[in-house]
Amino acid sequence: MAAPCGSRCPVLELLGDHTFRTVCLGTGLIGATSGALGCFSYLRRQALIGDVVSHASLLGIVGAFAISALIAGTGTKAIVVLIPGALVAGVLALLLTRAITSRTRVKEDAALGVMLAVFFGTGILLLRVVQRSPRISGHAGLEDYVFGLAAALTQGDLLLIAVLGALAIATMILLWGALKLHTFDSAFAHSMGFDATRVDTILAVLQVTSIVIGIHAVGVVLMIALLVTPASAARQWTRSLRGMVILSAIFGAVSGAGGSLLSALYARAPTGPMIVLVATAIFIVSILFAPDRGILARYRSRKRRRRAVLGAGGA
């Protein structure tokens, strides 16, 4: 496939490459999942909790690796071992943040900051300990979870991402009414029998899942970009929750796949930052040019209104 194109068409050459297709598909799926579920975080003004969860998952990743090393002698980086670790740490960080906000008088932004720092700091520390320990082998590549390395995605990773992502999206579609109602008006939803704690927990599990499947490719530091940026961009263009979620999933998929393409093309730059660049480009176009909500549209309608008012007064 790649032969007739030669080195003059790097994009086509890449698309013919099996490894690259795996990577592109993987990051696209990750982007679509977190883009869709990120809408609920955005609308509930809980975007930053996602950042805490993704930073916290590093501790879970390294912790799961260290435990496997202690048990088996040599550590495993199999995603089926690391992802449960990330899930546990992510959920723990989420619950702790909630507990601090609801049980103490610490404000939410401060609680988020504290939890993010504690979990990420401990994660980095444990990573160093594992890397320096002469008794633990097989830790090479563990550091890729910090900034992400989509090139490291294997067929097995892709399968797991696809299965977990599909499960999360299917659950979202199945419980659509309850999730929508709870996001708009949780007290009203509760009064009709959609228990607020239960729906909250379901949403949290879905969001943690969408984060955890992405951290290897995107990195814990920048995963927040796929959770928040596509949703913020999609909100600009849409007038219904359904439209927002679909568009945000598309924006997320384009950011993920486009970011890995760019990172493969240009000097093997880390994937995370490239994905962020694509997502941000979509975001900037959206806040500038979206009809109704875009900056330009609002500027124009303000000018029109002013002219109408002044015209009426002058005539």
Partner 1 sequence: MTRASAPPALRIDGLTVAYESDPVLWDIDLELPAGCIMGVVGPNGAGKSTLLLSTLGLLPPLAGRVEVFGQPLERVRHRVAYVPQRRSVDWDFPATVMDVVLMGTYGRLGWFRRPGKTQRAEAMAALELVEMVEQADSQISELSGGQQQRIFLARAFVQHADLLMMDEPFAGVDAKTERAIVRLLHGLRDEGKTLLVVHHDLATVPEYFDQVALLNRKIVACGPVGRTFTDAHVERTYGGSVRVPVPRA
Residue nearer to partner 1 on the CB measure, 7 or 102:
102
**Half-sphere exposure at residue 288, Cβ-oriented, CA atoms within 13 angstroms:** 6
| Nearer to partner 1 among residue 184 and residue 266 (C-beta) | 184
**Between 116 and 189, whose beta carbon lies closer to partner 1?**
189
Contacting positions for partner 1 (CB under 8 A): 43, 45, 174-178, 180-181, 183-185, 187-194, 196, 235, 238-241, 243-244
- Strand partners of residue 137: 74
Q: How far is the CB of 240 from partner 1 (least distance, A)?
A: 5
Residue 137 φ/ψ, nearest 5 degrees: -110, 170
- Please answer whether residues 177 and 115 qualify as being in contact, where contact means their C-beta atoms are separated by less than 8 angstroms: no
By C-beta, is 109 or 195 nearer to partner 1? 195
How many residues does this entry show for the chain? 315
Which residue, 118 or 297, is less far from partner 1 as judged by CB? 297
Q: For the CA atoms of the chain, what is the radius of gyration?
A: 22
Shortest distance, CB of residue 244 to partner 1, whole angstroms? Answer: 5
Least distance CB 193 / partner 1 (angstroms)? 5
Q: Based on CB atoms, which residue is closest to partner 1, 7 or 240? A: 240
Torsion over CA of 157, 161, 167 and 169, rounded to 10 degrees? -170
Q: What tokens does 259 get?
A: 């970011």
Rounded to a whole number of angstroms, the minimum distance from the CB of residue 62 to partner 1 is 37
For residue 59, the minimal CB distance to partner 1 (Å) is: 31
Minimal distance, residue 77 CB to partner 1, in Å: 39
Name the phi and psi angles at 294, rounded to 5: -65, 155
- Tokens for 51? 């950042």
DSSP calls for 193-253: T--HHHHHHHHHHHHHHHHHTTHHHH-TTTHHHHHHHHHHHHHHH-SSHHHHHHHHHHHHH
CA dihedral 49, 53, 55, 58 (to 10 degrees): 180
Q: Which is nearer to partner 1, 181 or 262 (CB)?
A: 181
Using CA atoms, how far apart are residues 83 and 81, in angstroms rounded to an integer?
A: 6
Residue 181 beta carbon to partner 1: minimum distance, rounded to whole angstroms? 5
> What do you get for the CA distance between the two ends of the chain, in Å?
71
Provide, rounded to whole angstroms, the least separation between the CB of residue 184 and partner 1: 5
Nearer to partner 1, 166 or 174 (CB): 174
The neighbour count for residue 153, using CB atoms within 10 Å, is 24
